[in-house]
Copies of this chain bind each other. A is one copy, B any other.
Amino acid sequence: MDLGSIGMEKGLLYETIVTTVNADHTPNAAPIGVICKNDKEVVIYLHHGSKTVRNIKRNHSFIVNILKDPMVFVESTLGNLSNNYFEQYLNEFYIKNTDAFFIADVKSLKDVEKKDNFGVSVTTVLKADVSTIIKKKENVEPLNRAIYGIIEGLVYLTRMEMVSGDMEKLYRHRMIEISRIVNKVGGVEHKKAMKKISEAFSRYDE
């Protein structure tokens, strides 16, 4: 089995839950974007110093969970995911109600300085090989945000004729953000579609 068997396409970024093992052998979960590099390999950008990074640096492997359960995303972001959400698999943990999961073995790991809107920060860039893939559901579709951005962009585009002032400014700002996201997480078709939307949107330029 390769990443295609769980619907992952080369070059796209998927929203997943990464589970790792803490130093005291308890499970940890965090929402993390995973880029499908090819059928057998993923790339991840992690906040330096997070629990997930420390666990991965110690254990050299982790589990990527493919699911859409909203509460799992909320609780793992807030750091509150209770222990009964986890299930053991060999020496690792996965999320019990996940649609699918795979084990990733770290191939390379590099700390990089990054500058963005929020200042300078250190990002850990990680490449990992995919080993075991387990499907818990027959039909697995990983979570990719690109089509959502497209839909939202189209909503704003069709409303542009009706808005003005602050609202119009808000839409412009949001459109830039949407385009950024779609180009970051999407595939060729998403980027082409976003380009069409941005072009149509530019008719409303001040």
Q: Which residues of A contact B (CB under 8 A)?
A: 15, 31, 68-71, 73-75, 77-78, 118, 138-139, 141, 143, 145-148, 150-152, 154, 157-159, 162-163, 170, 173-174, 186, 189-190, 192-194, 196-197, 200
Contacts of A78 in B (CB 8 A): 196, 200
Q: How many copies make up the complex? A: 2
Could you tell me the distance in whole angstroms from the C-beta of A97 to the nearest C-beta in chain B? Answer: 11
Question: How far is B68's CA from A68's CA once the two chains are assembled, in angstroms?
Answer: 17
**CB distance B147 to A68 under 8 Å?**
yes
Contact A70 B190 (CB under 8 A): yes
Given known A146-B70, A170-B170, A200-B78, contact A151–B15 (CB-CB < 8 A): yes
Question: What is the distance, in angstroms, from A64's C-beta to the closest C-beta of chain B?
Answer: 16
With A143-B151, A151-B15, A200-B78 in contact, do A193 and B159 touch (Cβ < 8 Å)? no
